[in-house]
Amino acid sequence: MYRSRPSGNLDNRALSFLSSITEDADLFYYDLLGSQAHVLMLYESDILSKKDTIEILKGIDQLLNHSDTLKEYADPASEDIHEMNESAIIKITGINVGGKMHTARSRNDQVVLDIRMKLRDELNRISSQLLNLIKSLLVRARKNTDTIMPMYTHLQQAQLGVLSHYFLSYCFSLTRNFERFSELYRRTNISPLGACAIGGSSMPIDREKVASLLGFSDIVYNSVDATTSRDIMIEFSSISLITILDLCRISEDFIIWSTSEFGFISLDDRFSSSSSAMPQKKNPDPLELIRGKTAVIEGNLVAASSIMKGLTSGYSRDLQEIKPLLWKTSTTLEGSIEIMDSIVSTISIDQNNMYSASATSYAISLDIAEQLIKDGNISFRLSHKVMGAIVDYASRNGNISLSSLTIPDITVALKKINFTHPILTVEKILSIIKLITPENSIKFRKTKGSPNKDEQIAMIDYIDKMINDYEKDLELRLNKLYLARDHLDKKIKQLIYKPS
């Protein structure tokens, strides 16, 4: 480290305590990319001579593309990646040339630049994985619009539904996460460079130029904000948590559905673990791990926001601790989305078991109660009471399924609540019960967003269109970044190899 005021070297223990070099490994590339753009801007703003610019850019190019140069000049015992790279360039080009690279720049704007550049790429990767997962859910939804199953509240059978409805529900919630990440992308895709340590520079730098060279859409305007704020990092941690909470719920559903007691689905062998002791076991370990990793992501959000709490404005070294949390969160989320996608695409679905559970289920009660209202013009509260009494009778007498009830059964059940009605006679009630088969239960529920076939198809079309639009948006975003990187690369090559 170039120490001007403190004398001598940093104590070795202090250096290893302070150093973020290990966690910074992934920033190596972004840091050099940022330096290329900064140096180019210094040259185009007449701050650096052409000769110095070319020497520095050649040094950066060597570090990026020649591992021997990296080994020779980069000191792994550095305080951080910014220092390591700058020192390497100074070793390669000499202090009189390389020493100019850090003009009008500070590690304080440099670190947030690097984080923003890496985060952009992480956001793009996560967004594309999310779209893949949504597409896989949609494939499964298309095939299961007629797969009748019980739906649960409080994990008790609530109403009958269809499996496509379940898959579609996660298409909807995951597209909201895609949208959240896209909004965050817009906030991330602005450059803090030129904010310097906290208060800008007297050198005639061009913040907009360096931003555009790096593919940013704008600059973080205020230099205090640019170097102090870590809101996008907290936002990333938070959206990641919201997203993995969705995966966690799917995991929990699948774990329960794959038990012998439920037998609704079974995991593909490639995504199941075995037991070292019990030969019969096929365990849903990947799903359990998504559940476990959700806690890690939640912890990272709490840790990141706790680091921010109590800090003054302007850079403080505490902020360094946020970086590893972010990268841990992104790799954990990426791994979880990817494995969930594989599981969704490969589970086998036992439609018969789902149907049997539905056919004997009291989850049909609300549909029958609504039919009683329609046919007998009674209040909902009264029909609720009638059905409650019938279900109570059926369950106390050996869990008789509603469709197997007889006239005497219903007579006894209704007597208990003294129910008599001119239209809703025992015979009429029995005929209504027989009418509400699992199929009719689904068919008669016409409300928007409910499980009936037309609504399933409408929702499938809706999601399909949404995915198409979002894929295009993402492609556009990726293309802009690619073009900016290509443009920067060409500019540098032109200067290094064909300086006219």
Catalytic residues, by residue number, are 154, 275
CB of 108 to ligand ARG, least distance (A): 5
Label residues 166-203 b or e (16+ Cβ within 10 Å = b).
bbbbbbebbbebbebbeebbeebbbbbbbbbebebbee
Instruction: Please tell me the distance from the alpha carbon of residue 265 to that of residue 260, in angstroms, as a whole number.
Output: 10
Q: Which stretches of the chain bind ligand ARG, using CB under 6 A?
A: 20, 80, 107-108, 111, 315, 317, 319-320, 323
CB of 2 to ligand ARG, least distance (A): 12
CB of 224 to ligand ARG, least distance (A): 15
Instruction: Please tell me the distance from the alpha carbon of residue 175 to that of residue 109, in angstroms, as a whole number.
Output: 33
The residues that bridge with 273 in the sheet, in sequence order, are: 283
Token pair of 52, please? Answer: 């110095």
Instruction: Please tell me the distance from the alpha carbon of residue 385 to that of residue 2, in angstroms, as a whole number.
Output: 81
User: Whose Cβ is closer to ligand ARG: residue 61's or residue 114's?
Assistant: 114
Burial, 414: exposed, middle or buried (Cβ in 10 Å; 0-12, 13-18, 19+)?
buried
User: Whose Cβ is closer to ligand ARG: residue 107's or residue 293's?
Assistant: 107
User: Whose Cβ is closer to ligand ARG: residue 313's or residue 401's?
Assistant: 313
Instruction: Please tell me the distance from the alpha carbon of residue 261 to that of residue 368, in angstroms, as a whole number.
Output: 27
Estimate to the nearest angstrom the gap between the alpha carbon of 458 and the chain centroid.
26
Which DSSP letter does residue 400 get?
-
Instruction: Please tell me the distance from the alpha carbon of residue 25 to that of residue 124, in angstroms, as a whole number.
Output: 20
Token pair of 101, please? Answer: 């690279």
CA-based nearest residue to 330, from 247, 228, 250, 241: 241
Instruction: Please tell me the distance from the alpha carbon of residue 189 to that of residue 19, in angstroms, as a whole number.
Output: 27
User: Whose Cβ is closer to ligand ARG: residue 204's or residue 314's?
Assistant: 314
Instruction: Please tell me the distance from the alpha carbon of residue 81 to that of residue 60, in angstroms, as a whole number.
Output: 13
The residues that bridge with 176 in the sheet, in sequence order, are: none
Label residues 299-319 b or e (16+ Cβ within 10 Å = b).
ebbeebeebbeeeeeebeeeb
CB of 117 to ligand ARG, least distance (A): 14
User: Whose Cβ is closer to ligand ARG: residue 134's or residue 319's?
Assistant: 319
CB of 124 to ligand ARG, least distance (A): 23
Q: Where are the alpha helices (DSSP H) in 397-437?
A: 407-415, 426-435
CB of 13 to ligand ARG, least distance (A): 17
- Supply φ then ψ for residue 209, to 5 degrees: -65, -45
Q: Where are the alpha helices (DSSP H) in 149-284?
A: 163-188, 207-213, 223-228, 231-257
User: Whose Cβ is closer to ligand ARG: residue 83's or residue 246's?
Assistant: 83
- CA torsion 439→441→445→446, rounded to 10°? 30
CB of 316 to ligand ARG, least distance (A): 9
User: Whose Cβ is closer to ligand ARG: residue 315's or residue 470's?
Assistant: 315
SS3 259: coil
Q: How many CB atoms lie within 10 A of CB 272?
A: 17
Q: Where are the alpha helices (DSSP H) in 94-106?
A: 95-98
CB of 200 to ligand ARG, least distance (A): 16
The residues that bridge with 157 in the sheet, in sequence order, are: 152
Instruction: Please tell me the distance from the alpha carbon of residue 453 to that of residue 436, in angstroms, as a whole number.
Output: 16
User: Whose Cβ is closer to ligand ARG: residue 116's or residue 323's?
Assistant: 323
User: Whose Cβ is closer to ligand ARG: residue 212's or residue 320's?
Assistant: 320
CB-side neighbour CA atoms (13 Å) of 261: 3
Looking only at the bridges linking them, the beta strands covering 218-219 and 156-162 are: unpaired
User: Whose Cβ is closer to ligand ARG: residue 84's or residue 290's?
Assistant: 84
CB of 323 to ligand ARG, least distance (A): 6
CB of 17 to ligand ARG, least distance (A): 12
